[in-house]
Amino acid sequence: MGNRMTALTLTKFLTQIAADQPAVAASVRALAGVAVELSATIARPDSTAQLGAVRGSANADGDDQKKLDVLADEMIATALAAVDHVAAYLSEERDAAIQLHDGGDVIVASDPLDGSSNIDTNVSIGTIFSILPASGGSLQPGRNQLASGIFVYGPQTTLLVTCGDGVFAFQLGTDGQFHDMGWQVRMPAETSEFAINASNSRHWAAPVSRYIADCLAGSAGPRQRNFNMRWVGSLVADGWRIFRRGGIFLYPADARDGYHNGRLRLVYEASPMAFLVTQAGGRASDGQQDILDIVPDALHQRVPLVFGSANEVDEFVKYGS
């Protein structure tokens, strides 16, 4: 499953996409420009400690806003404002939509900087985006997405993107261009690796506890095989690993105050990830229904999120919720 860089660059890929979806191509191009700048900013010596500093105010979700959260959000807002096709920008960092261009064709939703608790720890962080038709308004089911993707700023700066016809993987080269990694992004249907923040186990609902207990029981338990566990704590990084080698990611609802619908946001995190996962042959569920079928009733709505290898997500759903 090694990488083979091909001659296809993101620029060429987007030129092809632009023939049918000019607004999508222009939006992804603008976001990629921001990602190149963010990647350089993050890699600068001495930058991370400052960029990880709490800026004081909490964002719309009540999380501490770090300096890099705010910077990334402002860079995206500026880049999208220069794209006439973009009607509005929805940001996890802002209470309300920013209206951009009357008559624009698309709405872009983004978590500008995912995994902000990892900013100053030299662990992968990223940018998540979702592109929706402007005609559907701000609160549309993920099924309507025209494109979605994740940029990951890690040992490599990479992009996984779908425009509704499979998932493409690009890596930023030293020439400042994203190059196709020459890897067909298809998630294995089977896995023996799970990702969950186990420190919350005492707050889980019974089906989640049962599912994880059965994984932990390994070959001696009902699953009759051993499971491995990985938890990076940046959704983009845990997601990237799962695209690469399969796995199941779980951020379920739990009994803590404020976590009755899990932690992750439907519009900015779960929906774009679900579109990518589905396009790579995997599944994404809230435990009961497909994430892509959920119609948001608020911009910052949270949702339990389970995604990854199709057969394992189906197995989890069988435990009930």
Min separation Cβ 65 and ligand F6P, Å:
12
Strand partners, 86: 106
Site string for ligand F6P, 98-137 (x = CB under 6 A): ----------------xx-x--------------------
**Taking Cα atoms as reference points, which of 285, 302, 209 lies closest to residue 248?**
285
Query: Rule CB under 6 A: is residue 264 a binding residue for ligand F6P?
Result: yes
Considering the complex, state which of residue 93 and residue 114 has its C-beta at the smaller distance from ligand F6P.
114
**SS3 of 177, please?**
coil
Min separation Cβ 239 and ligand F6P, Å:
9
Q: Which stretch binds ligand F6P (CB under 6 A): 152-160, 214-222, 229-237, 294-302?
A: 229-237
Query: Rule CB under 6 A: is residue 234 a binding residue for ligand F6P?
Result: yes
Min separation Cβ 231 and ligand F6P, Å:
7
Considering the complex, state which of residue 104 and residue 247 has its C-beta at the smaller distance from ligand F6P.
247
Please tell me the distance from the alpha carbon of residue 189 to that of residue 120, in angstroms, as a whole number: 34
Strand partners, 107: 88, 132
Cα R_g (the chain), whole angstroms = 19
Considering the complex, state which of residue 202 and residue 318 has its C-beta at the smaller distance from ligand F6P.
202
The kind and range of the H/E element at 242 are: helix 235-245
Which one of the listed residues 10, 14, 51, 69 is annotated catalytic?
Answer: 69
Q: Angle formed by the axes of helices 235-245 and 271-279, to 10°?
A: 10
Please tell me the distance from the alpha carbon of residue 270 to that of residue 248, in angstroms, as a whole number: 14
Neighbours of 21 (CB within 10 A): 21
Query: Rule CB under 6 A: is residue 252 a binding residue for ligand F6P?
Result: no
Angle at 35 between CA 33 and CA 39, to 5 degrees: 125
- Specify whether 113 is catalytic: yes
Q: Which residues bind ligand F6P (CB under 6 A)?
A: 114-115, 117, 197, 233-235, 263-264
Please list the active-site residues: 63, 69, 92-93, 111, 113-114, 269
